[in-house]
Structure 1
């Protein structure tokens, strides 16, 4: 066969693959509706295990890489779950025409929440300094008023703190929550609202605005003095597969200083060292290793994020300096061990780290 003939044959196979995927998705939709009407959970881990096992078994029988087959099936499963999750959220329609105001709703995470609420049947109003006044759109949130069933504060951290303080004086009737990555700048506003008798709580989505499937993702609920508000907020996400975690105001920022602050700083230090090394990025890429490539992938993602938000996460956390000091101490310790030729100390450092990391169970999906 000529090359063109082989490529045409391959094109035909690819078309059939896409047709089979479409057929599979149709069946998945019917399965999702059946789960919804019978009250069964969206995700069935036992079934996923069977599907992936069968894919690997069939791949071996056909002399195909089992890892490739599993990877393809895992992608199809994620797509199916995302579709079923969206259908369930829409079907349960908890909004039922209720109104929600998203302050900062034109931002990335604000946009995610706007879509989430709209899919549940809420009447969504957006207030954001980057937009012009229009139908259910306001440049200044004050112009929208506070007569809403739900108010979400999705502005930058420092601004969110001021908004919460203002809302405490306005005493809105509905549920109010922020989605800040830190709570230190928001504590005063949250406490003022609680003291004023407002139905207020605080959320921290541990996922980004590009997230379509909430399975394996975490959403932190921080009680701000109104257990009823926290309970109501949690119910809004009951149709999703997100893992709900509860935390108090005192613990949140101390733990986030390591989960976000330390991990961000480590990656910023990594790409800063590379950028200032004098070595061209393409040249380093040619000498890549598995570890380097993995670290570069994460650091590249961090470098593309909002630098102003990342500075706020570092600067506005009252517990933020401790993890940075620990990072500096650790790097200096490694440097000293290497400079002194202390092999035993270096090995012990890695052994200790291995033991610590072994105590952490791997999550089902990255956070």
Structure 2
């Protein structure tokens, strides 16, 4: 067998693999249609674990690397589940939903998701050109507020005046502390909660993405929001609204600050980006993937996330202290302090 013969056979095998992957997705779609018809959960974690074990077991039995086999399995499962999660499904209750600010990127994302689930969705946004105004929210069963953080509180107050007492109302803002008093007041006497999708409008689905649902005093509203949004493949985390921004000071505030500091140092280095990339290490390239995306985000939104979080000062003090600790440890002739920082990081992640 010549080298060309070998390459031809490999090509044939690759085509067979792709055809089998296509067939696998077709079968996964049939499973998804069954789940949708029964309004069953998209994800079945025990079944997913069985599939992973099957791949790893086959790899071990046949002299293959089980880690790579698992990676292949996860890629196939992710595509299957994303297809299933994006499939229209008859909801247990068809709702009339108004999205205030629904012409923005995240508002449109939710509009598409909920329309596909069979709900009637009204976009209330001057940019939509449909003539609907906030007063039209009074006809809706559920109202989602998807406006900038600085405007969310005033919109909620307006909806409090307009909407019927039984209407479910929730925002999808990245922070809650700027209007937490409004949320808690409304949550104490009507169906109000607060939601935070931990992903952006570029997400193809909710698969393996986090969805935070905050209880603002109305357990009924929290349950209702989870029922509405929780069956699309997301990992739902329920928490008191008071806890939300403490977590976000690290999850959003710290991660953004670290990335901004990183590209600020690079910018001030005087070394051209393309020149820097030509000598980049694996670690540097991994950081750059995230770093570039942060640099392209809306600076005013990122400023609001830093500035409007009532927990910002504690996190920023800890960040500043940590940077000084790293600098001091790196400059010290004694490696013990540096090693301790590394050891504590290793312990944190295990």
* TM-score (normalised: structure 1): 0.83
Distance 1:73 1:37 in 2: 26
CA-to-partner distance for each residue in 1:245-285, whole Å, 9 max, x for gaps?
Answer: 22223221122111211111111111111122111112222
Kindly report which structure 2 residues correspond to 1:1-367, keeping only aligned pairs within 5 A, or say none: 15-34=15-34, 41-55=41-55, 67-87=67-87, 90-96=88-94, 98-131=95-128, 133-134=129-130, 138=132, 141-142=133-134, 144-173=136-165, 174-194=167-187, 197-358=189-350
Aligned length: 349
Distance 2:250 2:176 in 1: 14
Deviation at 1:8, TM superposition (A): 8.1
Deviation at 1:68, TM superposition (A): 4.8
1:341/1:69 CA distance change after superposition, 3 Å: same
Moved more, 99-108 or 69-78: 69-78
1:48/1:166 CA distance change after superposition, 3 Å: closer
- Structure 2 counterpart SS, 1:229: helix
Q: Note if contact 1:82-1:212 (Cα within 8 Å) is conserved in structure 2.
A: yes
Deviation at 1:108, TM superposition (A): 1.9
Distance 2:164 2:136 in 1: 12
Q: Note if contact 2:197-2:211 (Cα within 8 Å) is conserved in structure 1.
A: yes
Distance 1:60 1:355 in 2: 30
How well do the aligned residues superpose, as a CA RMSD in angstroms?
A: 3.0
1:170/1:338 CA distance change after superposition, 3 Å: same
Distance 1:48 1:211 in 2: 21
Deviation at 1:21, TM superposition (A): 2.4
Distance 1:199 1:71 in 2: 43
Identify unmatched segments of 5+ residues in structure 2: none
Q: Note if contact 1:253-1:319 (Cα within 8 Å) is conserved in structure 2.
A: yes
Deviation at 1:313, TM superposition (A): 0.7
Distance 1:115 1:233 in 2: 17
CA-to-partner distance for each residue in 1:93-115, whole Å, 9 max, x for gaps?
Answer: 2452x311111112221122111
- Structure 2 counterpart SS, 1:276: helix
Deviation at 1:69, TM superposition (A): 4.5
* TM-score (normalised: structure 2): 0.87
Deviation at 1:226, TM superposition (A): 1.9
- Structure 1 counterpart SS, 2:211: strand
CA-to-partner distance for each residue in 1:173-231, whole Å, 9 max, x for gaps?
Answer: 41110011110122233244346x43211111122223234343222121222222112
